Amino acid sequence: MGVAFNKPNIVLVRGSYHTEGERAVPVYNYKPFPEHWNRPAGCLITRVKAVPSVKEEENDFYWWTDCEFLPNNDSSMVTSCSAFCIQPSQGLTSSRAIQPGKICLFDLSGDKNIKCGYYRQASVASFPKLQPFPDGENIVYLGSTCDNIKLMSLQRSTFLSRAQDVYFRAYKYVSVSPSGCYFAIMARTSKQYQYELLIYHSNIITRADSIIDCYKINSEFKGSRLNLEHTTCKWSPDSLCVAAGISHGQLIIVSRRSQTCLCDVFSDVIPNTCLSRATTFDFDPKSCHQVVAVGATNRFLYIVDVEEGTVLCQTEEVCGDHAIDVVRFSCDGEFVGVALKNFTIQLFSPDTCCLIFRFSMKDSLLSLQTSMGPHASILNLTFTSTGQQAVTSTADGYVSFWQLPRKLELQFICKFKILSCVSLDRVSRLPLPPRLKDYLLSLPTRM
């Protein structure tokens, strides 16, 4: 791949400063997805409203919904949503009747009922996006004023403000690095609607470590006067690179150290097409930062080597008749999930781009309606640590849990039995060969 292969070290996140190449992990044991929820592959497990306390109005709202599992915990999930009205210009106007961005914590570990905790004081930005902090005890999100980010404790409901902006930039998206050391923030400036990628140290409040002008890398990477675009940024598994995408179709990979562009994907690697949505790319967990999966407007899935600037593989035919809404790797990198606008979920091999499994959400939820205009039907797609369950958040304000094919390999079963007894920060002390420790920790393996 052109550089030395350095796997991240596992460190205790609580009360420690991390150095280059380290990765933060929770200090609790793995919590499995409850066995009593298991269903046949492709079937709906259960469905919940993202924020149960929000009453549905008579109007037909577009619900911007988000969901994420907590790290090393397949029985707990954080959710949020906001209601919007679709304007003739296809823009989204926040509903004044419903408070946006409330946060809920769902606990599926009970024998019969799903418990839901509601954080009354927490309020996310209009387009809510939640990311669990690597310790599993906090979540990171944009504040409601869009000029700061919040770090909230799930247990104590305490809040810390981080990365407050003093230059009148509007924060649009935030992502925390796997090391727990850095925040990456997509910020829209007042200068010709351009975007900057800000890198903050997690302990710094007002001064950014790096300010990367996305417009200087790609002149198409900028917003519009109507502010209709959406942006996303994601950290690489080794915390050395950040991928930044915009719904206009551009995707750039930048180095945190040098603040330079490592790869402009659609200019350098995949010409004549562009990013399907701001959410249709993801880093391969098996690589440090070299491999990225990309869903394009031509409805193909590409696996790209961003260092060599080459396409490693692509699907033999288009993924479907509808646009790609989300692209997301499983936690172990064994497959990459593709969610289509018509509610079809497909799983592909990242090595060959061969189809592994597919199902239609409409087979179980006949009432699902494809969103009108350019807006996505599926806002997020995520997977449990085992990769045996998928969760989708949709524009109707609901979060749906789906059963994927069960894995019966002995090594796989032993892995999660061990992690149920030993926390991730203690795996390195086990009397096991290094390769087995790497397997337990799901560390990158691509050279």
Q: Enumerate the domain spans of the chain.
A: 9-441
If you average pLDDT over each of 62-71, 154-163, 187-196, which comes out highest? Answer: 62-71
For 342-367, the DSSP string reads TSEEEEE-TTT--EEEEEEGGGT-TT
Contact 175, 197 (CB under 8 A): no
* Band of residue 12 on the pLDDT scale cut at 50, 70, 90: very low
Please tell me the predicted confidence (pLDDT) of residue 10. Answer: 42
pTM above 0.95, yes or no: no
Tens digit of each residue's pLDDT (9 = 90 or more) over 218-272: 999 988 887 789 999 999 999 999 999 999 999 999 999 999 999 999 999 999 9
Contact 360, 368 (CB under 8 A): no
Compute the distance between CA of residue 161 and CA of residue 258 in angstroms, rounded to an integer. 27
15 has a pLDDT exceeding 60: no
216, 47, 73: which is closest to 135 by C-alpha?
73
Compute the distance between CA of residue 266 and CA of residue 244 in angstroms, rounded to an integer. 12
Tens digit of each residue's pLDDT (9 = 90 or more) over 299-352: 999 999 999 999 999 999 999 999 999 999 999 999 999 999 999 999 999 999
Contact 116, 101 (CB under 8 A): no
Compute the distance between CA of residue 437 and CA of residue 40 in angstroms, rounded to an integer. 31
Tell me the three state secondary structure of residue 327: strand
19 has a pLDDT exceeding 70: no
Pick the CATH number of 9-441 from 1.10.10.10, 2.60.40.650, 3.90.1150.10, 2.130.10.10: 2.130.10.10
For 42-111, the DSSP string reads T-EEEEEESSTTSPPPSS-PEEEEEEEEETTEEEEEEEEEEEEEEPTTS-EEE-TTS-S-EEEEEE--SS
For 267-311, the DSSP string reads IIISTT--BSSTTSEEE-TTSSSSEEEEEBTTS-EEEEETTTTEE
